[in-house]
C-alpha cells in the first residue's frame, strides 16, 4: 500500500504542481506548473526526488495535514512557520515522519508561495504528461482543483534510505517586496516608440490585485505604442510582458493562455521567473534589460547553484 496523507485544513490556495505540461500548447492547453520552479526543485532535492516530481504549492498560507503512513518531507520557498506535532521545525531541510504525525504550514511572511515535497512525489494521475493542476479547466492535480479538507493523497514509491539534508541558505535567492527583474527584448519590441521602451526600463511598477497564476497586471506609467496594441494572435511564453491598449504591462505566467493578440515588449528571463512567482499584490518591480547571451549564462549559473546548495 502506498503512503498517504490527509488534508485537515487546505490553506488559501493549495494545489499539486510539477514543472508543467509541455507539448500541448498547439491544442490550446496551458503549461501550468510551479510558479517558483527553483523552490519546487529545492524541495524535491531535499527528499532525494528528481526535480520534476509533483509537490504541493501553497499560496499565502499552507495546509495542515495528517500523515497516514511513514514518509519524509521538506518545505522550501517563502518564509513561513512549519510545525510538526505542534513543535517548530525548520524549512529547507528534510524531516522523517510517522503515521499519525501532524504537519502545519503557517502564513507566508516573506514571498507568497512555499512547496512541500514528499519522498516519492505526489501520486495523482498523469494528464498529458504532467501532474500539474490547471484549475480553470479542472485538469490535472487532485481532481483538477485546489485541495479541500478531507482529501487523501497518495505518495509515489521511494526506495532511497532517509539521509539528513539541508540547504546552504547563503546561496538562496533573496526575496523582497521590491525586485529588479531582468528582461530581454520581446517579439514585438519594434512596435513601441523609443519613449515606450525607455518608460518600462526606467519606471517602477506595482503588482495589482488583479493578478493570479495566469498573469500579473502592473500599475505604473503607461507605455506608448507606435500603431496600437493589437497584433495577429501569436504564441506566449512564460514571462512574456504584454502591453494592452491602456499601456499597463501584464506579465504572463504559469497558467497563461497559449496565444494572445497584444504586443509583447519584453520577456522576463527564465532565471528570474522564480522571483516573480514569489511576489504578491503591492510588491514593486523595476525592469533591467540584458542580452540573450547573458540570460543564458545566468540560467546556467542558477542550475549550478541549485545542485550546490544541498549539504
- What is the mean pLDDT of the segment spanning 203-211? 97
pLDDT in tens, 100-134: 999 999 999 999 999 999 999 999 999 999 999 99
Q: How confident is the model at residue 292 (pLDDT cuts 50, 70, 90)?
A: very high
Q: Return the minimum-mean-pLDDT range out of 52-66, 70-84, 165-179.
A: 165-179
Mean pLDDT of 239-245: 95
**Torsion angle of the four alpha carbons 133, 138, 143, 149, in this order, in degrees rounded to the nearest 10:** 80
Strand ranges, E, within 39-154: 55-59, 64-67, 71-84, 87-89, 94-97, 102-118, 152-154
Note the pLDDT of residue 311: 72
**For 62-91, what is each residue's pLDDT tens digit?**
999 999 999 999 999 999 999 999 999 999
The stretch 7-35 carries a mean pLDDT of 97
Query: Quick check: 156 and 88 in contact, CB under 8 A?
Result: no
The residue among 232 and 218 whose pLDDT is bigger is 218
Question: Residue 1: is its pLDDT beyond 70?
Answer: no
Q: How would DSSP label each residue in 135-157?
A: TTTTBSTBTTB---TT-EEEB--
Residue 125 burial (C-beta neighbours within 10 Å; 0-12, 13-18, 19+): exposed
Residues of the chain with CATH 2.40.100.10: 178-306
DSSP letters for 10-35: --SEEEEE-S--TT-GGGT------S
Q: In what helix (H) or strand (E) does residue 240 lie, and over which residues does it extend? A: strand 240-243
Cβ proximity of 218 and 285 under 8 Å: yes
Helix 37-46 vs helix 292-306: crossing angle, to nearest 10? 20
CA–chain centroid gap for 81, Å, is: 19
Cα-trace Rg, the chain: 20
Q: For residues 216 and 206, what is the distance between their CA atoms, to the nearest angstrom?
A: 10
Q: How far is CA 49 from CA 40, 63, 253, 295, in A?
A: 11, 21, 25, 27
CA 110 to chain centre: 15
Q: Which of 243, 240, 235 is nearest to 266 (CA)?
A: 240
- The torsion defined by the Cα of 184, 190, 193 and 196, in degrees rounded to 10, comes to -20
**Residue-averaged pLDDT of the chain:** 95
- The CATH number given to 178-306 is 2.40.100.10
Alpha carbon distance 214, 231 (integer Å): 20
DSSP conformation class of 175: P
Q: Which residue has the cell 512541500?
A: 116
pLDDT beyond 80 at 310: no
Element (H, E) at 292: helix 292-306
Mean pLDDT, rounded, for 135-147: 97
- What does the DSSP 8-state code read for residue 267? E
Of the two residues 168 and 41, the one the predictor is more confident about is 41
Contact 256, 284 (CB under 8 A): no
Cβ-contact 183, 289 below 8 angstroms: yes
In this prediction, residue 53 carries a pLDDT of: 98
Amino acid at each position: 500500500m502506498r503512503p498517504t496523507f490527509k488534508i485537515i485544513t487546505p490553506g488559501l490556495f493549495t494545489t499539486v504542481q510539477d514543472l508543467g505540461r509541455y507539448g500541448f500548447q498547439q491544442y490550446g492547453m496551458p503549461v501550468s506548473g510551479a510558479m517558483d520552479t527553483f523552490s519546487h526543485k529545492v524541495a524535491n532535492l531535499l527528499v532525494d526526488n528528481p526535480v520534476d516530481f509533483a509537490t504541493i504549492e501553497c499560496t499565502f498560507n499552507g495546509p495542515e495535514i495528517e500523515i497516514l503512513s511513514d514518509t519524509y518531507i521538506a518545505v522550501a520557498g517563502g518564509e513561513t512557520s512549519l510545525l510538526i506535532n505542534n513543535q517548530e521545525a525548520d524549512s529547507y531541510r528534510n524531516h522523517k515522519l510517522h503515521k499519525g504525525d501532524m504537519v502545519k504550514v503557517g502564513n507566508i511572511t516573506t514571498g507568497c508561495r512555499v512547496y512541500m515535497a514528499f519522498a516519492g512525489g505526489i501520486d495523482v494521475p498523469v494528464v498529458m504528461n504532467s501532474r500539474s493542476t490547471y484549475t480553470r479547466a479542472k485538469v490535472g492535480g487532485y481532481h483538477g482543483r485546489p485541495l479541500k479538507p478531507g482529501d487523501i493523497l497518495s505518495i509515489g514509491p521511494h526506495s532511497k534510505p532517509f539521509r539528513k539534508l539541508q540547504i546552504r541558505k547563503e546561496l538562496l535567492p533573496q526575496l523582497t517586496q521590491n525586485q529588479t527583474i531582468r528582461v530581454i527584448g520581446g517579439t514585438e519590441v519594434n512596435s513601441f516608440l523609443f519613449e515606450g521602451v525607455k518608460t518600462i526600463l526606467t519606471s517602477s511598477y506595482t503588482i495589482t490585485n488583479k493578478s493570479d497564476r495566469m498573469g500579473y497586471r502592473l500599475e505604473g506609467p503607461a507605455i506608448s505604442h507606435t500603431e496600437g496594441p493589437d497584433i495577429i494572435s501569436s504564441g506566449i511564453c512564460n514571462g512574456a510582458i504584454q502591453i494592452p491598449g491602456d499601456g499597463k504591462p501584464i506579465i504572463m505566467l504559469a497558467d497563461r493562455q497559449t496565444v494572445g493578440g497584444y504586443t509583447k515588449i519584453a520577456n522576463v528571463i527564465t532565471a528570474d521567473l522564480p522571483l516573480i512567482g514569489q511576489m504578491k499584490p503591492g510588491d514593486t518591480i523595476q525592469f533591467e534589460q540584458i542580452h540573450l547571451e547573458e540570460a543564458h549564462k545566468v540560467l546556467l549559473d542558477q542550475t549550478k547553484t541549485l545542485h550546490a546548495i544541498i549539504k
